[in-house]
Amino acid sequence: MRNRSGLIGAIIASALVVVAILGALEITPYPYWQQHRLDSLEPPGDRYPLGADLFGRDIASRLMRGASNSLYVSLLSVCFATAVGATIGILAGYFGGRTDILLMRLMDIIFAFPGLLLALLIVALLGRGLNNTLLAIGIVYTPIFARVARGPVLALKETEFVLAARVTGAGPWHILLRHILPNMTAPLIVQISLGLSWALLTESGLSFLGLGPEVGEPSWGVMLSGENRALAERAPWLLFYPSIAIMLGVLSFNLLGDGLRDVLDPKLRGNT
C-alpha cells in the first residue's frame, strides 16, 4: 500500500486486534476480574503498569479485555448494520417501485428516530449485555448503510453490462450477486470503516448512561463511566488510559478508511 496514512491506520488497527485477541483469550498480566482490594486506586507503577481501579483490578489487563469487548461490539454492530442495511438498500434499489418505497420508508423511520433514544429504548427493553448493546447500535446504523448501498445500485442497474446480462436471461439474484455487489464494495468498505469509529464512540456513550456489557466485563466505554468518573480527579489514570485506547481505535479506523477510500476509488486509482 503506497498510502502512508492508510498504512499507519492499518498498523494501529492490527495492534489493537492483537491486544483484543489476547484479552479475549485472557492472556493478560492479571486476570481482568481479579480484585486486589488492598491495592485500591494504586497509581501506575511496578506492579500495575497503568495503575489499579477502585477494586484493585489491574487497568492494563482490563484495557486488554476491554479491547476485545469494545472491538467485538463495534465490529459486529457494523457487520449487522452492513448486512441488514446493504441487503435492504440493494433490494430496494434493484427492484424499485413499491419494494423501494416500502423498504426505504421503513429505513427513514429508523433514520429519523433520535439515535440515542432508539438505542436507549432497545437496551431498556432487552436489558444490559454485550449482544444487546451491539444490536442496539447495529439497528441505529442500519438505515445509513441502506442509503449507501441503494445509490450505487440505482446507477449500476442501468449500466451496459447489467443490461447485457439481463438480456442474456440472467435472473435477478445472479445479476445482484455477480454484477452489482462486486461493483459497490468500495463505498461500502469506506462506510464500514467510518461506522466502526462511530460504533466505538456510541458504545462509550451508552456506557455513560449505564448501559453496556454485563457487570464486571470491561469495555473501554465502561472503563470511562460509573465509579471511575467520580474517582477521576483523585486517580486520573482511570480515565486517561481508556481515553487513549478509544482515541487510538477511532484514529486507526479513520485513517484506514481514508486510505481504503483513496486506494479503492477508481477515479483516484493511478493518480498521484
Partner 1 sequence: MTRYLIHRLLTFIPTLFGISILVFGAVRLIPGDQIMAALGTEAGMLTDKQREAMEVYYGLDQPPIIQYFRWLGNLLQGDMGISTRHGPILAAILKRLPLTIELAVLSLSVALLIGIPIGILSALKHNSFLDLAGRIFAMIGLAVPSFVLGAILIYVLSVGFGTLPNSGNYTDFIDDPLLNLRQLAFPAITLGTSFAASVMRMTRSSVLEVRRESYVQTARSKGLAANLITRRHILRNALIPVTTLIGIEFGYLLGGAFIVEHLFSLPGIGRFAVFSISQREYALIQGITLFVALTFICMNLLVDLIYVALDPRISYRDHN
Partner 2 sequence: MFHPKRNILILLVCLLLALPALTLADGHGNTLIMARAVDATGLDPHTQTAFASFALLGMIYEPLITLDRDLNLTPALAESWSFSEDGLALTMNLRSGVTFHDGSAFDAEDVIASYERILDEETGSAARTNYLSIVSMDAPDEHTVVFNLDKPDVPLLSAMSTINASILSSDVISMGDPAVDIIGTGPFALDSWVADETTQLSANEAWWGGEIAIDGIEIRIIPEETSIIAAMRAGNVHFAMINDPLVATLVEGEDDVQITTIPTLSYNGIQLRAAREPLEHLEARQAISCAINRQEILDTASLGQGIITGPLTMASYALPVSELFCYEQDVEKARELLAAAGLQDGFTLDIMVAVAEPPTALSIAQIVQSQLAEVNITVEIESLEFSTYVDRWLAADFMGAVVLNSGFTDPYPMYARYWQEGAIFQDVAGYLDDTLDGLMKAGQIETDPDVRYEIFRQFQLHLAETVPWIWLYTNFTYTAQLPSVMGWNPGSNRSLKFLADVSLSS
Asked if 106 is part of the footprint of partner 1 (rule: CB under 8 A), the reply reads yes
Instruction: Collapse the DSSP code of 3 into the 3-class scheme (helix H, G, I; strand E, B; otherwise coil) and give the result.
Output: coil
Nearer to partner 2, 167 or 215 (CB): 215
Among 25, 117, 155, 177, binds partner 1 (CB under 8 A): 117
CB contact at 8 A, 94 and 176: yes
Burial classification of residue 127, based on how many CB atoms lie within 10 Å of its CB (0-12 exposed, 13-18 middle, 19 or more buried): exposed
Instruction: Output 105 or 174, the one with its CB closest to partner 1.
Output: 105
Binding mask 162-201 for partner 1 (x = CB under 8 A): --------------------------------x--x---x
User: How many Cβ atoms from other residues are within 10 Å of residue 95's Cβ?
Assistant: 15
Which residues 94-133 are close enough to bind partner 2 by CB under 8 A? 124, 127-128
Alpha carbons 65 and 193: distance in angstroms, whole number: 22
Rounded distance between C-alpha atoms, residue 248 and residue 256, angstroms: 12
What is the footprint of partner 2 within residues 156-175 (CB under 8 A)?
A: none
Alpha-carbon gap, residue 102 to 80, rounded angstroms: 21
Q: How far apart are CB 125 and partner 2 at their closest, in Å?
A: 10
Report the residue from 51, 66, 212, 221 that binds partner 1 according to the rule CB under 8 A: 221
Closest separation in Å from C-beta 238 to partner 2? 11
At residue 261, what is the residue type?
Answer: R
Opening angle at CA 86, ends 79 and 271, nearest 5: 90
Smaller CB distance to partner 2: residue 115 or 218? 218
Nearest-10 crossing angle of helices 185-208, 115-126: 70
Q: Which of 229, 236, 247, 268 binds partner 2 (CB under 8 A)?
A: 229
Applying CB under 8 A, which of residues 7, 8, 54, 118 lies at the interface with partner 2? Answer: 54
Evaluate the CA torsion angle 208, 212, 218, 220 in order and state its sign: negative
Which residue in the set 1, 18, 26, 105 belongs to the binding site for partner 1 (CB under 8 A)? 105
Tell me how far, at minimum, the Cβ of 246 lies from partner 2, in Å.
Answer: 20
